[in-house]
Amino acid sequence: MLDVQVMEMFKRLLGQEHPAALTSMANLASTYTNQGRWKEAEVLEVQVMETKKRVLSHEHPDTLTSMGNLTSTFCNQGQWKVAKELQSHGTHSMRTTLGEDHPSAVVAIADLASIRKNSDAL
DSSP string for 18-33: SHHHHHHHHHHHHHHH
**pTM of the model as a whole:** 0.89
pLDDT digits (tens, 9 = 90+) for 96-119: 998 999 999 999 999 999 999 887
CA distance linking residue 100 with residue 92, whole number of Å:
10
- List, for residues 26-48, the tens digit of each pLDDT value: 999 999 999 999 999 999 999 99
pLDDT class for 8, splitting at 50, 70, 90? Answer: confident
Domain spans of the chain?
Answer: 2-120
Cβ-contact 89, 97 below 8 angstroms: no
The answer to whether 71 and 83 are in contact (CB under 8 A) is yes
Of the candidates 50, 44, 51, 13, the residue with the CA atom closest to the CA atom of residue 26:
44
> For the domain with range 2-120, which CATH number is right: 1.25.40.10, 1.10.10.10, 1.10.10.60, 3.30.70.270?
1.25.40.10
The answer, yes or no, to whether residue 122 has pLDDT greater than 70, is: no
